[in-house]
């Protein structure tokens, strides 16, 4: 960070400048600065949902785009996500209190035999940022864990993640079990993870493969809108 940036007093910036600065600070993974700026915007009367969407999600969208385009790499994305997480920790309780719009709900987890959760955590965070209620089952989930969570939380979406070639076939086990139990079509099933691809997603009977967290959010929104349209038509 340059000396010039060191001198920036966040509270002295107007709203537009502050949001722009938050984009920069998210990009640089500056968690403390993001938390400070979130509090400033809230003190200025911004609704929590507006802080979330305009400042945090807006900033993370830039990070996501630059990751997709090969300008940013995983370490920088993780730092940005960590900064956003700091902001989210302030906003999350307030969002529930203030009745922020709710896009839908999702149960998400890494499959059995797999302990990798970086991608899954990013998706969960970005889904929350987009207004989804997310139940995160963590890592190493057997089919019963997914089925139990779906029965309990009745989500719109089931998300499954895997990083390993050896564990990704387990997604099919979960989907096949859902079919056997006649509940497959009750849920939108999204899958993701480094070794997956669109063909694999189709082959196992998922609704979509999502390349990254940004794509997961857009895909989820698309399927939710389609679901609402079908309900309205039906």
Q: Note the residues at the interface with another protein (CB under 8 A).
A: 29, 73-76, 78-79, 82, 113-118, 139-140, 164-166, 168, 194-197, 200
As a whole number of angstroms, the distance between CA 151 and CA 144 comes to 10
As a whole number of angstroms, the distance between CA 84 and CA 87 comes to 5
Q: Smallest distance, Å, CB 228 to another protein?
A: 33
Q: Smallest distance, Å, CB 233 to another protein?
A: 37
CB of 131 or CB of 201, closer to another protein: 201
Q: Smallest distance, Å, CB 207 to another protein?
A: 18
Sheet holding 104-110, edge to edge: 132-136, 104-110, 157-161, 188-192, 208-209
**Length of the chain measured in residues:** 234
Q: Smallest distance, Å, CB 12 to another protein?
A: 29
Burial environment of residue 169 by CB neighbours within 10 A (0 to 12, 13 to 18, 19 or more): middle
CB of 117 or CB of 156, closer to another protein: 117
Question: From the CB of residue 93, how many other CB atoms can be counted at a distance below 10 Å?
Answer: 10
Helix (H) or strand (E) holding 41: helix 31-43
6 Cα distance to chain centroid: 31
Number of Cα atoms under 13 Å in the Cβ half of residue 150? 26
CB of 141 or CB of 224, closer to another protein: 141
CB of 115 or CB of 151, closer to another protein: 115
CB 156 within 8 A of CB 174: no
Q: Smallest distance, Å, CB 103 to another protein?
A: 26
CB of 65 or CB of 165, closer to another protein: 165
Q: Smallest distance, Å, CB 138 to another protein?
A: 9
């Amino acid at each position: 960070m340059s000396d010039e940036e060191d001198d920036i007093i966040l509270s002295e910036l107007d709203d537009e400048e502050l949001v722009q600065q938050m984009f920069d600070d998210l990009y640089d993974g500056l968690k403390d600065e993001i938390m400070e700026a979130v509090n400033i915007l809230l003190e200025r009367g911004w609704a929590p949902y507006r802080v979330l969407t305009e400042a945090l999600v807006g900033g993370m969208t830039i990070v996501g785009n630059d990751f997709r385009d090969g300008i940013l790499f995983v370490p920088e994305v993780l730092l940005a996500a960590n900064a956003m997480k700091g902001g989210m920790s302030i906003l999350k309780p307030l969002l529930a209190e203030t009745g922020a719009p709710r896009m839908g709900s999702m149960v998400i987890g890494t499959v059995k035999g797999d302990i990798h959760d970086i991608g899954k955590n990013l998706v969960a965070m970005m889904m929350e940022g987009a207004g989804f209620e997310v139940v995160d089952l963590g890592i190493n989930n057997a089919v019963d864990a997914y089925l139990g969570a779906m029965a309990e939380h009745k989500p719109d979406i089931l998300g499954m993640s895997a990083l390993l070639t050896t564990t990704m076939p387990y997604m099919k086990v979960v989907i096949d079990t859902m079919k056997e139990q006649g509940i497959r079509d009750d849920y939108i099933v999204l899958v993701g993870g480094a070794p997956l691809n669109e063909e694999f997603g189709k082959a196992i009977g998922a609704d979509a493969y999502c390349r990254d967290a940004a794509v997961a959010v857009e895909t989820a929104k698309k399927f939710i809108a389609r679901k609402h349209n079908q309900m309205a038509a039906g």
